Amino acid sequence: MWTILMKARIRVAVTYFKLRQGFFSVLRSRLPISAFTLKEKASIPKSEAEEINPVIKGSEFAYQATNIVLINDDGVNMAAKHIRQRLLVESYTPRTWRTHPLHLLPSDPYVASDPTNKSVLNWIFLISCLNFSFWSEKEGRPDRYGVEWRDKWDSSGKKLWTGYWSLVASLNRALADDDIPITDPNFYSSEVLCPDSLIEHVFRPSPQSSESIPLLKERITIMREVGSILCKNFDGSFQGFLDEFHRRHNGEGTALQLVQMVVETFPTYRDEFIVHGRKVCLWKRVQILVAEIWAAFYPAKATHPHPIFPGVRGPQIQQLTMFADYRVPQILYHLRILDYPPSLLETLHAGSPLPSGASEEISLRAASIIAVERVKQEILKLFEETGECGEDVVSSVLIDFYLWDLAKKIENGEDRIEGMETAEIVPIHRTRSIWY
């Protein structure tokens, strides 16, 4: 009975939402100027020095200040050789993003007028807003939180998705199976059109799961906040936000400048802490947001302009860092890039929580960021030694994408590290927060 009532409520809400959207589309088309245009700000050019990613500077400081997790220089050198070889052998590029079975893909080649672009951008934005805290107290057990959906978009096969992919599967299921426009900010910002109970229904677990998605209330709060900001200031879509980004930077904006504008606009992306009296920006989710957009719309030929960053400088993706979460530090330790003190290893093996902002947690994240920067530099040196140009193909973003995929493959028994000495696979650190 509850399911029948829920489906009826969904149909009524969606029908009303579509009628409302049609009305406002006509209304907007007849307005001579948008409300936001009246609030335009003058573009302020930034010097090259100001474009140094504050995540790097803050992480360097936090790494030295905490002095808990350490970087193994020998491990960096060995891992750089291994990662470079794997990137080449596996042809791992930004276009690899398009091969993931649950990703919603924009048209290829890119067509500016294609309405799919707006849908994909809204999809990536909401996923990035909610991309945090998927580890389970029931890790490795069949009753952990999971979502059953197709094994890929154009398939009738079913698969149980866990971890980060449970979030993606939940939103895809709502869009494709339940006809719920869950990625539209005009919809999810409204408590009338999209009540909390409906969002809870979107994230419903598979029948064998005995737990719900972590931090559901926090996710709902974030959806309301970011959706309201987009609707109030950017015509109700992340495409509208990007349009304003292009206007402010005269079409010459870079990935880092987009990161900074997102942080300035949306409080949920301010992943920042005070360490010894100094603000340290770690910015995991916002850098992932921009990196995902960069990869999703990456042109078939690297020599072609990037449609989201069409300026002379292009995206300058090399300015972004890796995304400091709980999964990549695990693989960095396995590759002997990071060294943990005995006290931290004891905490990890015991499954004890690390509070957000604790010295050990900050050290783990800061050391991971600086370590991947060093791996990147070593890989670039290897390219230089062979007379190849790696500057355009190697970035901390791409290394992070690769390491995260590798960690999941190793976890699932689908891959292993060969040809170099490795450390044990230690458990992830357990920090429950909205930052990652």
Q: Which residues are catalytic?
A: 325
CA-to-CA distance for 370 and 360, rounded, in angstroms? 15
Q: Which of 94, 102, 140, 100 is nearest to 413 (CA)?
A: 140
Element (H, E) at 281: strand 278-281
- With tokens 């959207």, the residue in question is 21
Q: What six digits make up the tokens of 167?
A: 């979030």
Burial class (CB in 10 A: 0-12, 13-18, 19+), 183: buried
List, in sequence order, every residue forming a beta bridge with 303; answer none if it has no partner.
none
Burial class (CB in 10 A: 0-12, 13-18, 19+), 162: middle
Dihedral sign, Cα of residue 295, residue 296, residue 302, residue 307? negative
Distances (CA, A) of 38 to 32, 43, 190: 11, 15, 25
User: Is the Cβ–Cβ distance between 320 and 397 less than 8 Å?
Assistant: yes
Interstrand relation of 158-161 and 147-150 (parallel, antiparallel or unpaired): antiparallel
Element (H, E) at 150: strand 147-150
Q: Which of 101, 118, 261 is nearest to 183 (CA)?
A: 118
User: Is the Cβ–Cβ distance between 146 and 205 less than 8 Å?
Assistant: yes
